[in-house]
Homo-oligomer: A and B are copies of this chain.
Amino acid sequence: MSYMPVTASMFLLAETRDQPIHVGGLQLFIPREGQSSTELAEEIFETFYSCTDVHPLFRKRPAQPVSLVGSLMWSFDDEIDFDYHVRRAVLPRPGRIRELFRYVSLHHGTLLDRNRPMWEVHVIDGLEDGRVALYTRIHHSIVDGVSALRLLERTLSEDPDDRSGTAPWNPSLMRRRPKPTAPAKGLLSRIGDIAGTATGLAGEVVGLGAAAAKVAYTAFTDDAFVPPLHAAPKTILDVPIGSARRFAAQRWELTRLRAIADEMDITINDVMVAMCSGAMRAYLIDQDALPDAPLIAAMPVSLHTDNDADGNNITAIMVNLATDQPDPERRLATIIASTRKSKEVVRSLSPVQSMALGAANFAPLALATVPGFVRYTPPQFNLIISNVPGPKTDMYWNGAKLDGVYPASIPLGGQAINITVATTADHINFGLTGARKEVPSLQRLLTHLDTSLEELEKVADVGA
């Protein structure tokens, strides 16, 4: 058994049957020349199934599945029940992307069993376009979204002729040096390598309750940015949620966002957030539910460096989405100002302080399990928007080309929509995960994202 840091255990303690806390990823592969989708699916499945040497990260589970604060420990299983963790699925006809998203939606809403290592891999064929999908989910107490994607990427190769494809839990992969991935520029490179002991320290500083978070926070508060425990406007997303999920995803050419960013001297991340802002505004207008005050987004910020250990290593900043602003140019300006201010504050903090700030920002995660909390307390933020870096070049698994990476993340009571994007070589891939019953017409957000991107192209005077 080994000690579990608070940054991991809070994801176990905050979890309820209505609020499963695992991150998911959907990867799509094109079979290599002459290979059918069923053959590729079976090749992946057999390879994974026979990779019985399993890294400890994929063997650990909570030693006491139902426990109380302070007494959580990890234990490590020697044997993995592959029949349970590695699954095959075939989509029913007509095998459209719609059937695939439905599969992901229905599986993403169930709890992972705490009596075994908390992860699953589903190898899916039956898509009419001949691609093979890999849907993976892993509990947030084990890894954050950045680590999860990195684990999957390590199974891939830049070489289409490479046939050493293996399973993400192969211990030899962990020893491979990860490819330098650079999308999280500036901020991340400035915040140093704080993995390891810092996690324990942050846990001690922060605790879990709102009061503790407030105490931790007062040490370094700054009036000029969106502070933790600030009240965001009440919206239709700020409701208790059921466990059922809806998942939708789409990708856009990265060149389109890059053109806007270059023209306006901003980051691709700024453009992405502005797309989300415009889309959320349009979506809420559709629902006749746009609040007067602007939405606040929580944006997890990875503190991972290229060489640190896998696991949980995030903080978060709060961004004013300026959804009250009809003009896209002014909206963009407000978003950029808010993001920069938040990043400056994080940058000025010590590693321990920045993790404490993250924990303070995510305190509502734990409080959402208290009956009535979500219903009667103003939200601190309205939705989560994450940006996780994917591979920067074309990648292959045993010659099958990776063609799309869509994150499926965690809606919460109070934050019923999660938008997570992954950037890959040529695309920005949006994964929308919403509480199924509480968020109507989630897929309409995809249309609004597209419209919002067109608007930004007009603002920057680029593109079509």
Q: Is there contact, CB below 8 Å, between A106 and B126?
A: no
Residues of B within 8 A of A18 (CB): 65-66, 113-115
**Chain B residue at minimal CB-CB distance from A244:** B113
**When chains A and B are docked, how far (Å) is the Cα of A102 from the Cα of B83?**
8
Q: Is there contact, CB below 8 Å, between B81 and A106?
A: no
Which A residues, 91 to 141, have Cβ-Cβ distances below 8 Å to chain B?
Answer: 91-93, 99, 102, 106, 109-111, 113-116, 125-126
- Size category of the A interface is 35 or more
A331 interfacial contact with B, CB 8 Å: no
Q: Is there contact, CB below 8 Å, between A242 and B90?
A: no
**When chains A and B are docked, how far (Å) is the Cα of A244 from the Cα of B80?**
13
Chain B CB count within 10 A is highest, among A102, A106, A125, for: A106
**When chains A and B are docked, how far (Å) is the Cα of A113 from the Cα of B99?**
21
Q: Which of B17, B42, B90, B106 contacts A111 (CB 8 A)?
A: B17
A89 interfacial contact with B, CB 8 Å: yes
Report if A90-B126 is in contact (Cβ < 8 Å); known contacts: A18-B115, A84-B244. Answer: yes
A87 interfacial contact with B, CB 8 Å: yes
Q: Is there contact, CB below 8 Å, between A437 and B81?
A: yes
Q: Is there contact, CB below 8 Å, between A65 and B113?
A: no
**When chains A and B are docked, how far (Å) is the Cα of A448 from the Cα of B115?**
28
Q: Which of B17, B38, B41 contacts A17 (CB 8 A)?
A: B17
A269 interfacial contact with B, CB 8 Å: no
A186 interfacial contact with B, CB 8 Å: no
A243 interfacial contact with B, CB 8 Å: yes
Residues of B within 8 A of A87 (CB): 106
Q: Is there contact, CB below 8 Å, between B102 and A109?
A: no
**CB-defined A-B contacts under 8 Å, sample of 24:** A16-B66, A17-B17, A18-B66, A18-B113, A38-B93, A41-B92, A65-B242, A66-B371, A83-B102, A84-B436, A87-B106, A89-B89, A90-B126, A92-B125, A110-B110, A110-B111, A113-B242, A114-B242, A114-B243, A115-B241, A115-B243, A115-B244, A115-B437, A116-B244
Q: A17-B17, A115-B242, A115-B244 given; name 10 further pairs at CB < 8 Å.
A: A17-B114, A18-B114, A41-B92, A66-B371, A89-B90, A90-B90, A90-B126, A110-B110, A114-B242, A115-B241
